[in-house]
Structures are given as structure tokens and as C-alpha cells.
Structure 1
Amino acid sequence: MHTFPAPDGTPLAYHVAGAGAPLVCLPGGPMRDSGYLGELGGLAEAGVRVVRLDLRGTGASGVPADPASYRWDRQVADVEALRVQLGLERLRLLGHSAGAALATLYAARHPERVESLVLVTPGAETVGGEVTAADRLETARLREGEEWFPAAYAALEAITAGGATEADWEAAAPFSHGRWDGTARALRASGPAQRNAEAAAVYFGDADGGEPDGGADDGTSPAAVRDALARFGGRVLLLAGEFDVASPPRTVLASADAYPRAETVVLPGAGHFPWNDDPKGFTAAVTGFLAS
């Protein structure tokens, strides 16, 4: 583990595995300890130096004095501070899920500092996309042959209808994974302890710390992000999982037009954590993109 100060003095931690050119990795959750990323399906053994940042208030990083600094746009400065700490002119940057939003906003604000961008099961909302209930349910029905499907699908219907209970979220958990096995169950069980719930509530909030208001005045609105990305010359990989109900492939692929130099990959049989579902396929897709 290594530490460095954020611009506001908050101590931040990052973890390094493997050798070779660095790939800075931003976790999702939002606001989950980066430990859940592990070595990202074997990237660290495939000639990639995996650099995982613990976002402020998570993992080994410190808690900031100002809770409003948990906002995703405020944390762009933390990523820039890490670039300086690593002594890199340009970053190869990976973001997973909500971390993909942070990675995208960093590229929009610092286009000259990003060599390439890998967005793993990203949300489409950052660039104005929309995930509908129909998208999620259609993706879920690909799993009809699974023994857990009936109860999980009923729970997902309740979630998409807006009337979910905690039990519904738990019952629908298998849809986040390509295989509902021991590894997936362990990842699910570790989530609450690894996630900073207070910070997660602020992450996508508005400038006053409340609910999102569209970001029209702070550069985080989809229109503002798209406009900034139009000037981004780096290469982008958008990686989706065939079975991912959180970021269905249709919506991930549709968001590619926001990036001037985008490539897309859909990993068969993978869910929201594709490096666990198909480590070899995930590693091949990412290393192939980085090397091309």
C-alpha cells in the first residue's frame, strides 16, 4: 500500500500489483473499497501494473473533513493528484460501474492527461443514456434456465417497479453475476462492509449535497460531459457483460457514440463483475485493447 495527500489534505491510499505499464483503476459501488477489484481477472499477471485507488473515505484512505467532497466531480482532483504522485504525463485509466463515471469525467476535464480509457460495465446515464425496466427485464430473461430464476425475477420486477424491499434486492443478487457460485456469493456478502454508505449517498448528489439536479451549472450534466468528450482524442473501450442487468449491453453499446474513438466488447456469459465471470476473456479483451 502507498499513500499520498489529496489537494485538500485527505490522505489517500493506492495499491499496486504486477509489473509493466500502469493502469489506474477506479472502483464502483459507488464508494466501495477497491479491494473487491482484486487483480482484475489476471491483468497483473499479464504484463499490466494494476494500480487500485481507494477513493476518499473507503479502504485505507482517510475520511475527508468535508463530506461534500465525496461528490464524483470533486474526486476528479484526487485522480489528478494520483497521476502527479505516479509521475505520469498521461494515464491509462480503468473505471468499473460508478467508477466509470468518475473516469469519464476525468477524461472530459483533463483530455490531454488520458492516453486510453477502459470503462467496465459503465452506467449510460453519465452521457445521457437511459436504462429502462424493459432493458433490465429483457436481459434478466436470458437466465430463465437457472434454478434461482423464478424468485430472483419476481424480485427484479418489484425493483424495476419501484416498490422493492431489502429482501427483493437480496433475492435479485444472482443477476449481478454470470455464475451464482461461491465466489459470487462471497463478493456479494463482502459488499456492505466495504461500501461507505454515507459517501455513496453524496457521490452523485448535486452541488449542495442533495439530490441530483442535472448538473447544469457544474459541468456534470450529460450535455456538458458529451461536449467535453468531443475534444477527447484518447481511445476508449466500453466493456459490457451479456447478463448484466445493472448495465445492459444495449445501453452500454448505445453510449459509445459519446466517445470519438470508442470500441466495444460484450463478454458472453458475464455479469456486472466480468473479471470474475470470465477472467481469461476479460484479461484478453483489456490487454488486447491496451496493446493495440
Structure 2
Amino acid sequence: MPAFTAPDGTRLAYHVRGEGEPLLCVPGGPMRASAYLGDLGGLSARRRLILLDLRGTGDSGVPADPATYRCDRQVADVEALRAHLGLDRVDLLAHSAGGDLALLYAARHPHRVRTLTLVTARARALGIDFTEEHRREAAALRAAEPWFGPAHDAYERIWAGSDTDADWDAVAPFFHGRWDAAAEAHSAAEVEQTNAGAAEAYASPDAFSPAAARAVMETLHAPVLLLTGELDSGPRPRVAERIAALFRDARLTVQPGAGHYPWLDDPSGFTRTVTSFLEGKDA
């Protein structure tokens, strides 16, 4: 198992899949082990995926100081991985809550980012996040699904304050474009793969300085791809448009029929979109 040492001495692991130029992948969750990314819909056939297990997840060690789970504190881990790999600049891909970490990394080390791919990614680091309104808007698109009634009832309980595992399990279909056996298995693994305590610390408000991060993004020379799902609630495509507008060189792709895990919903379409972006990057 390849590993490296973070600046605070924590041993961090990463997984390598495929051949070719490296693509450093930051998982979401928040604080979910990188195993859920799989081979990103076959993207490993085109790129060498470097899948980081964030501290306290997967095969990575548990830090001595739990405060280092905070998103901004983990920027140093990504930079340590870049140095460990011997890369002058990185192609960086982030999913979901990992988007915040990737954005903070780009804000702190803009000269180290060659391309930035944000897959259904959060942007609290830039002062933009999804809301209950966005969840309701996306949920309404699924009204014809056979699972809609019980799932929507569970959503209503969550919006009213429920935080039970049963209700969160019930709303899982909303996060997938197709609720099939593969999606069910992917969803069922989430709890075991997630460090729940670390997730609570990850997005502390003190981790983000949106105005400062936005100022860097406005001048970031690296091209940025924002890939969102047509059916996803976080972010909705219209919210992703607002995020894209904050960069000097950004393109937005809305994957038809996709939810929060677009590489599961249409692997070939997802791989084609990301590969096309990466192959068109500036040298």
C-alpha cells in the first residue's frame, strides 16, 4: 500500500489505479474513504488515478490532533502528496465535499494546479452551498419514480429535524440517477467507509474565507471543469453556473440523467467528458 507522511507525522495512504498521466483524486463524503470512487467509471483506462484516503479514513492513519480533520488543515496533506509524487503541477479531481478541499488547495497553491475537475462538488470555500430549496427542487424531478413516496416522506422528516439512519437510508435513491443494484450496493457501503466524527469537524466555518478564495479563483490560470448531474441537488446545475462564473477559465457540463455520482449513472459519458477536458488542457 503506497503511503507518505503528512507534515504533522500522520501516515497517509493512497491507491493507484490505471496507467498514464497521474490524476490526483480527492474524495468527498465528507471524510469517506476513497474506495467509493472505484475506477471513476473506467477513467483509469485513460489516466493513472491517485486516490487519496484522507486522514482517519480508509488505510490512512488517525491523526494525534482531531482538529486537523478541518478542511483547511488538510490542504497540507494534498501538498505533501504532490511533493511525494514528484510532480511540479497536478491535475486535481475532487468529488462532492472534496471540492472544498480542492478549492482551498488551489487558493493556497495556485501555481501547483494544472487543471481542476470538480465533480458534483461543494463550494463552501467560495461562499456557495446547496440549500433545502435545492433539495426540494431536485426531489420534485423524481416524482414518477416507484420509490418516490417513502423517500420523499423521509426527506420531509429530515427537513423537520430528523437525523436517523433509517431516514437517511430512505432518501439515498435521490442521490443516484438510477436506483439499481449497483447504486444500492454503493450507498450501503457509505456508513462503513465514513469517519463520522471527522466529518463533523471537516466543514467548520472557520475553515473557509470565501472572499480571499474567490480573489484567487478570479486569477487562476488553470482551466476548470465543473461537472454536475441533471438530477443532483448539490449543486443544482443553476448553482454550478454561479460557481463557474467565479473562475477566469471554467466550463460547465451537465450530465443528463445523472445524480450525485455521475460515473455510476453513465460511465462512458462521464469518462468521455473528463478525458476530453483533460486532453484539451494547456501544457
Please indicate, yes or no, whether the TM-score normalized by the shorter chain is above 0.5.
Answer: yes
Answer yes or no: is the 8 Å Cα contact 2:177–2:259 preserved in 1.
Answer: yes
1:146 is aligned to 145
Equivalences, count: 280
2:227 aligned residue: 239
1:36-94 Cα offsets, whole Å, 9 max, x none, are: 1011000111x211110011111111111111111110110000000011110000000
Q: Which residue of 2 aligns with 1:3?
A: 3
Query: Structure 1: how far apart are the matches of 2:143 and 2:220?
Result: 41
1:223 to 200, 211, 214: 211
- Write out the 4+ residue segments of structure 1 that deviate beyond 4 Å after TM superposition: none
Give the structure 1 partner of residue 239 of structure 2: 251
Where do residues 130-145 of structure 1 align in structure 2 (5 Å cutoff)? 130-145=129-144
* 1:31–1:196 contact (8 Å) kept in structure 2: yes
- Which whole-Å CA distance do the structure 2 matches of 1:261 and 1:80 have between them? 23
**Following TM superposition, by how much is the alpha carbon of 1:165 offset from its aligned partner in structure 2, in angstroms?**
3.9
- Per the alignment, residue 13 of structure 1 pairs with 13
Whether the aligned pair in 1 keeps the contact of 2:154 and 2:170 (CA below 8 Å) is yes
SS state at 2:73 partner:
coil
Asked if the contact 2:18/2:44 (under 8 Å) is kept, the reply is yes
Task: Give the Cα–Cα distance (whole angstroms) in 1 for the partners of residues 163 and 31 of structure 2.
Answer: 22
- Name the counterpart of 1:72: 71
Identity, % of aligned pairs? 57
Match of 2:180 in 1: 181
Equivalent residues of 1:20, 1:48 under 8 A apart: yes
1:123, 1:252 within 8 Å by CA — same for their partners in 2?
no
Aligned match of 1:209? none
C-alpha distance after superposition, 1:205-258 (max 9, x if no partner):
2xxxxxx2xx3xx6x221121112223110000010111123222212221112
Contact 2:99-2:123 within 8 A present in 1 as well: no
Aligned counterpart in structure 1 of residue 251 of structure 2, from 244, 259, 263 = 263
Instruction: Give the distance between the partners of 1:124 and 1:115, measured in 2 at CA.
Output: 19
Mean Cα displacement is larger for which, 228-237 or 2-11? 228-237
Contact 2:23 2:49 in 1 (8 A): yes
Q: Which runs of 5+ in 1 are unaligned?
A: 206-211
Rounded Cα–Cα distance in structure 2 between residues aligned with 1:159 and 1:22: 40
Q: Is the 8 A contact 2:25 2:92 kept in 1?
A: yes
Q: CA RMSD in A?
A: 1.4
Q: Which residues of structure 2 form unaligned runs of 5+?
A: none
* Conserved 8 A contact 1:124-1:251: no
Contact kept? 1:155, 1:164, Cα under 8 Å: no
Distance across 2 between alignment mates of 1:81 and 1:239: 27
- Aligned residue for 1:43? 43
* Kept after mapping to 2: 8 A contact 1:241/1:271: yes
Q: Is the 8 A contact 1:30 1:99 kept in 2?
A: yes
